[in-house]
């Protein structure tokens, strides 16, 4: 489903690295089911309202169902995205608009943020110690980073990154259209309307991105372009969680050993 091409290495840098790069002038576009309640006679109106707000939050932010993010925090994240998007769009030179999936000033003016998804990761030790009995929930952990699709004419064109900086949620980067299109293709091919839940997982040590497709019948993993390149996976196939974890073990181990060698040389 996806063509395997090289992924921008900036996507795997930490916020601290990107901040340093900005200070050096090396980065231009960075700042770093329906729900039915049958009987409510014993519930107070306030409790009912709280339940409704929680339900609405989970519809707007499907990812919140997995990690139980408070509604107030989700709203802060969205406000940061909505407030930060115009500033980032203004920094894109007209000649570079195509790289961000945009064609002209009119589309810039129409751009808005869509429903976000959070970046999850898997710690190196969880990969190296993985056994087939482990579930997804046992090995992944959420990062502080949220990605907001930048929407124009109901299409995902780019991704706006929101993270915590100085104790506040801020829009910190806008990414080119490559990863945005990959995410949109996955969500379209395996839609939520057919029971799929999508979890974006980034393994920094292997420079690999995946989307975990959780379904009542089974859980599968589809590799994005970076994982195709790094791990030799096929863009036309989905994999079991155990298959992906086994593929990750060698590059992660190599990365750790390389890091240890560099530390010893210093």
> Where do the structural domains in the chain lie, given as residue ranges?
9-32+63-265
Give the Cβ contact number of residue 49 at 10 Å: 11
Q: What is the per-residue pLDDT for 236?
A: 87
Residue 1 is predicted with a pLDDT of 54
Strands of the chain (E only): list them: 112-113, 117-122, 140-152, 155-165, 168-175, 197-203, 208-214, 219-223
Using one digit for the tens of pLDDT, what is the confidence trace for 179-188?
Answer: 999 999 999 9
Sign of CA dihedral 153, 63, 123, 187: negative
pLDDT tops 90 at residue 47: no
- Cα 251 to Cα 9, 53, 162, 232, 255: the distances in Å are 16, 43, 28, 11, 6
Give me the pLDDT at residue 251, please: 96
CA distance 46 to 49: 5
At 11, the pLDDT band (50, 70, 90 cuts) reads: low
* Residue with the larger pLDDT of the pair 148 and 50: 148
Place of tokens 């929407």: 151
Decide if pLDDT at 91 tops 60: yes
Q: Is it the case that residue 80 has pLDDT exceeding 80? A: yes
Mean pLDDT of 65-90: 89
Q: With cut-offs at 50, 70 and 90, classify the pLDDT of residue 258.
A: confident
Q: Which residues contact 84 (CB under 8 A, 6 or more apart)?
A: 31, 160, 162, 170, 171, 172
Tokens 């408070």, residue located:
70
C-alpha 148/C-alpha 118 separation (Å) is 9
Total-model pTM: 0.76
Q: If you average pLDDT over every residue of the chain, what do you get?
A: 81
């Amino acid at each position: 489903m996806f063509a395997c091409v090289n992924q921008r290495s900036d996507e795997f840098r930490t916020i601290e690295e990107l901040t340093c790069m900005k200070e050096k002038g090396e980065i231009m576009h960075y700042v770093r089911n329906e729900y039915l309640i049958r009987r409510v006679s014993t519930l107070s109106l306030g409790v009912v309202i709280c339940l409704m707000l929680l339900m609405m939050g989970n519809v707007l932010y499907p990812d919140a169902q997995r990690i139980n993010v408070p509604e107030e925090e989700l709203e802060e994240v969205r406000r940061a995205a909505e407030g930060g998007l115009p500033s980032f769009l203004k920094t894109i030179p007209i000649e570079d608009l195509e790289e961000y999936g945009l064609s002209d000033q009119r589309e810039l003016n129409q751009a808005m943020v869509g429903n976000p998804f959070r970046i999850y990761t898997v710690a190196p030790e969880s990969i190296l110690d993985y056994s087939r009995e482990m579930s997804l929930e046992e090995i992944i952990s959420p990062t502080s980073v949220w990605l907001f699709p930048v929407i124009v004419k109901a299409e995902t064109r780019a991704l706006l990154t929101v993270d915590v900086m100085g104790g506040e949620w801020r829009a910190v980067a806008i990414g080119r259209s490559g990863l945005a299109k990959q995410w949109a293709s996955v969500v379209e091919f395996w839609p939520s309307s057919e029971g799929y839940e999508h979890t974006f997982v980034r393994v920094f040590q292997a420079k690999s991105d995946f989307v975990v497709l959780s379904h009542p019948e089974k859980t599968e993993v589809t590799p994005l372009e970076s994982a195709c390149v790094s791990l030799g996976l096929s863009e036309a196939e989905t994999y079991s969680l155990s298959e992906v974890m086994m593929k990750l073990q060698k590059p992660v181990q190599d990365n750790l050993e390389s890091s240890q060698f560099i530390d010893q040389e210093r």
